[in-house]
Structure 1
Amino acid sequence: MDDWIAGDPDPAARAELRSLPDAELADRFAAPLTFGTAGLRGPLRAGPNGMNVAVVTRATAGIAAWLQAKCLGGSVVVVGRDGRHGSAVFATTAAEVLAGAGFSVVLLPGPTPTPVLAYAVRALRAQLGVQITASHNPAGDNGYKVYLDGGAQLISPSDREIETAIAAVGPAAAVPRSTVEPAAASTLRADYLARVAALARGRDRDLRIAVTPLHGVGGSAVVDALRAAGFADIHTVGSQFAPDPDFPTVAFPNPEEPGATDALLELAAAVDADLAVALDPDADRCAVGVPTPDGWRMLTGDETGAILGDHLLSELPAGTDPLVATTVVSSRLLARIAAARGARFARTLTGFKWLVRAGEGLVYAYEEAIGHCVAPDLVRDKDGISAAVVVADLAATLKAHGRTVPDVLDDLAVEHGVHATAQVSLRFADPTGITDAMTRLRGRLPTELAGEPVTADDLSTRRGQSRTDAVVLTGRRVRMVVRPSGTEPKLKCYLEAVESVSGRDDLSRARSAAADTLRRGTLFARSLVTP
């Protein structure tokens, strides 16, 4: 503890740690941040289990040593950042540590959407990309996201190897650093936006779009991409457009959170828009809103995933052998769409680090948490900006033919059945409660869910990359996946109800029946918190 404090290069952090009461100080040193979803993420605070200059310094030094051990010393690395508190100094720290270790560092200028960083790693053939971001976490958090050669997120066993290398790093203040100037306004952003704009292959551009970046860094990029694609009628939520690390108008800067898109939908209704788009703060996720006879509503990630998957498969030339992919917690509708389109389908564990590695010929991947990879050859990760362009392209084409996005959802339901989904998040004050709940579930695996027989598949008993801490309950018309959250003290339950449809006149009945199944499944999910 004393050695860490003495070796912290930030005098403010040293003073903070020395001023803490013993109990709080012990908490700060209880355990270091560990590599989770492709990197580090945690609260902005001094000590080994917070995001601060010392942690970023040692993490970067460990990664540098890991690359050098693989004979990749001196290679090109790219560093970017979002607009959060601490992001600028953390990005500079990472860049200077990498330069001090002899790497050729490209420090992207200013706040940058995460997809642009992922694109830059691929475009520059870099061996490493580091993006300082906490994605859609609350304002008090920050993070350190790692991309490897090819622009895909870090996976095991590399993460464990890097953790070992970090543990071997000495005091942060002793880590060599070399000054790095941010790259001059380069063509990287322009190249990325031009390639994203080219994803809009339709001819129709009569579409009014409402957009919000939720105080994040994607506002100007998504507007520029849409305009470059030919969409001129764009309206933005002014109070949320400029990057603001405090996220003052939303309780949580996540488009999926209740109330987060209220301002967007109000704007869309006021300007009589055809489409609404919300990005999360680092612009790697895209939520879509559409008008309906009952007013505006946001689509679920599964609904957007289905319409994008169907749209992208329909555009492929004959003779291709495409692959589409989604995750174990997402809807099964994409699998049915792929079969009908003659495409291959893959289901992976949660996270784009797995989705983009689903197999050869990947043309589209999504996860229910509003993440979409519409151009794997461009960005090997979820990308809210390119997804927004492709959704706008589809919506404009539909409008020109007198149709809407909800019409497509109806078409898919008639052809493949209603696939209604819902998520139940159970928060625990004590993380051990999550472990206890999973233990209880495994001890008495249910044979019935929502009045239907189900079979249970405990994914923790599998081998290899398909092994994870999750239980899947599957019936003919109902499915539920139960798993601990990877980033929050929550137990998450992903529900899906499927109802066959005999025609458009049967849609209302089928959706009502599916909603009832979800309601009963939700009651079971909530019972998991009871010992």
Structure 2
Amino acid sequence: MAPAPVGTAGLRWVYTAMHGVGWETFSRIIGEAGYPAPWTVSEQRDPDPAFRTVSFPNPEEPGAMDLAFAKARTLGAELVIANDPDADRLAVGIPDETAEGGWRRLTGNEVGLLLGWRAARAATADGPAAPGTSLACSLVSSPALGAVAARYGLDFHETLTGFKWISRAPGIAFGYEEALGYLVNPETVRDKDGISAAVALLGLAAEARGRDATLADLLEEVAAEVGHFASGQVSIRVEDVAVIGRIMAALRQDPPAAFGETAISSAEDLLTATEGAPAGDVLRYRLADGSRVIVRPSGTEPKLKVYIDAHADSGEAARTAVAALDAAIRELLARLS
């Protein structure tokens, strides 16, 4: 465990365990590393099987981090860290004057990009990385991680969703999936782990703070190196799971030529993937403007999920491209369902 960087002194931050088990272990680790103690969301600090302050105990869910954000606003915090109840996932909140309430949760792809950039810089700190050193993510996560790998001369692997696949990537130095799961120390924990990921994220925040920068500034620094990426997701829940099968079949039988005004330049059906490539009930479309759309059934819920990724010269342009694709995909799914 690396000691806390110099910029840690005076760091003001809030932590919530989301009614789970994270605080006991996390508090001990950050104390030993030398990080200042956070303000905790006391209502959510200790295990509570009723999860009484949230409608669903997942930091991704709307409202789940409201108590943490409220505390951060009241106390003038710089950062919010959240674990899910079993502490294998990490969520991060930062001040954002454009967001409702002045705070927003970073997406899983944004946190994955920061932690992947951290891993790439560490792997090349003393020169070129060892041959085969790699970054890895699920195929529905942002292609930004692949751009970081290319920038730093590392290998890159895309896998099926789930850490049983991500953790097997050859030479892995870092891996993640957009659903808030991060593998930051494969020599110690070869799985997603919210505690080690939180410590790594705190280290990044402290290092940035030491030069009067923030996590938002770091995202801009990464974008200056690899370009601006934006992501979105369309998810439709169904009462009858057969509807999902019908939509997937319709997309295969009558493939779309475009999403809205953006032409599709290539399409892949991972049910018939080539040997060595990830295989599953997944359709992947690459668009003429460099965007990407992936369609797949959820593996855990009666949902069809569509993942949208765009790459542009500015953050605004990337977000605009995602918004246009989101509208077009919702219209298409409404017709097919």
Q: Flag as ranges the 4+ runs of structure 1 deviating above 6 A.
A: none
What does residue 312 of structure 1 align with? 119
Q: After the TM superposition, which of the residue ranges 290-299 and 471-480 deviates more from structure 2?
A: 290-299
Q: Does the alignment pair 1:490 with 2:303?
A: yes
What does residue 155 of structure 1 align with? none
Q: Does the alignment pair 1:340 with 2:151?
A: yes
Aligned residue identity for 2:317: A
Q: Does the alignment pair 1:413 with 2:217?
A: no
Counterpart pick for 1:391 among 201, 208, 221: 201
Q: Does the alignment pair 1:290 with 2:94?
A: yes
What does residue 460 of structure 1 align with? 271
Q: State the percentage of identical aligned residues.
A: 41
1:438 shift after superposition = 0.7
User: In the aligned structure 1, how far is the partner of 2:3 from the partner of 2:69?
Assistant: 24
> Is the 1:499–1:511 Cα contact (8 Å) retained in structure 2?
yes
Aligned residue identity for 2:325: G
1:275 shift after superposition = 1.5
What does residue 301 of structure 1 align with? 108
Q: In 2 relative to 1, CA 199–489 (structure 1 residues): closer, same or farther, beyond 3 Å?
A: farther
Instruction: For residues 271-320 of structure 1, give each alpha carbon's deviation from its aligned partner in whole angstroms, at most 9, with x where no partner exists.
Output: 22221111111100001111234322110010011111111221233343
1:210 shift after superposition = 0.6
Instruction: For residues 154-188 of structure 1, give each alpha carbon's deviation from its aligned partner in whole angstroms, at most 9, with x where no partner exists.
Output: xxxxxxxxxxxxxxxxxxxxxxxxxxxxxxxxxxx
User: In the aligned structure 2, how far is the partner of 1:319 from the partner of 1:421?
Assistant: 30
Aligned residue identity for 1:320: A
- Aligned-residue CA RMSD (Å): 1.5
User: In the aligned structure 1, how far is the partner of 2:150 from the partner of 2:225?
Assistant: 12
User: In the aligned structure 1, how far is the partner of 2:257 from the partner of 2:335?
Assistant: 19
> Is the 1:199–1:386 Cα contact (8 Å) retained in structure 2?
no
Aligned residue identity for 1:234: P
Which protein shows a greater Rg?
Answer: 1
What does residue 16 of structure 2 align with? 212
What does residue 471 of structure 1 align with? 283
Q: Does the alignment pair 1:530 with 2:335?
A: yes
User: In the aligned structure 1, how far is the partner of 2:327 from the partner of 2:224?
Assistant: 28
After TM superposition, the score normalised by the length of structure 2 is 0.92
Structure 2: gaps (5+ residues): none
Please give the residue correspondences for 1:221-300 in structure 2 after superposition, counting only pairs within 5 Å: 221-294=25-98, 295-300=102-107
| Secondary structure, counterpart of 1:530 in structure 2 | helix
> Is the 1:277–1:289 Cα contact (8 Å) retained in structure 2?
yes
> Is the 1:200–1:390 Cα contact (8 Å) retained in structure 2?
no
User: In the aligned structure 1, how far is the partner of 2:238 from the partner of 2:97?
Assistant: 39
Q: Which has the higher contact order (CA 8 A, sep 6+)?
A: 2
User: In the aligned structure 1, how far is the partner of 2:112 from the partner of 2:159?
Assistant: 15
Structure 1: gaps (5+ residues): 1-197, 501-509
User: In the aligned structure 2, how far is the partner of 1:416 from the partner of 1:313?
Assistant: 13
Q: Does the alignment pair 1:481 with 2:294?
A: yes
1:425 shift after superposition = 1.1
Please give the residue correspondences for 1:46-445 in structure 2 after superposition, counting only pairs within 5 Å: 198-200=1-3, 202-206=5-9, 207-294=11-98, 295-316=102-123, 317-321=126-130, 322-359=133-170, 361-445=171-255
Instruction: For residues 456-483 of structure 1, give each alpha carbon's deviation from its aligned partner in whole angstroms, at most 9, with x where no partner exists.
Output: 1111111556110010011233111100
Q: In 2 relative to 1, CA 515–450 (structure 1 residues): closer, same or farther, beyond 3 Å?
A: farther
> Is the 2:8–2:209 Cα contact (8 Å) retained in structure 1?
no
> Is the 2:129–2:153 Cα contact (8 Å) retained in structure 1?
no
1:429 shift after superposition = 0.5
User: In the aligned structure 2, how far is the partner of 1:199 from the partner of 1:463?
Assistant: 41
1:200 shift after superposition = 4.7
> Is the 2:6–2:210 Cα contact (8 Å) retained in structure 1?
no
> Is the 1:450–1:478 Cα contact (8 Å) retained in structure 2?
no
Aligned residue identity for 1:204: G
Q: After the TM superposition, which of the residue ranges 382-391 and 463-472 deviates more from structure 2?
A: 463-472
Instruction: For residues 465-508 of structure 1, give each alpha carbon's deviation from its aligned partner in whole angstroms, at most 9, with x where no partner exists.
Output: 611001001123311110000000000011111112xxxxxxxx
User: In the aligned structure 2, how far is the partner of 1:370 from the partner of 1:200?
Assistant: 24
Aligned residue identity for 2:194: G
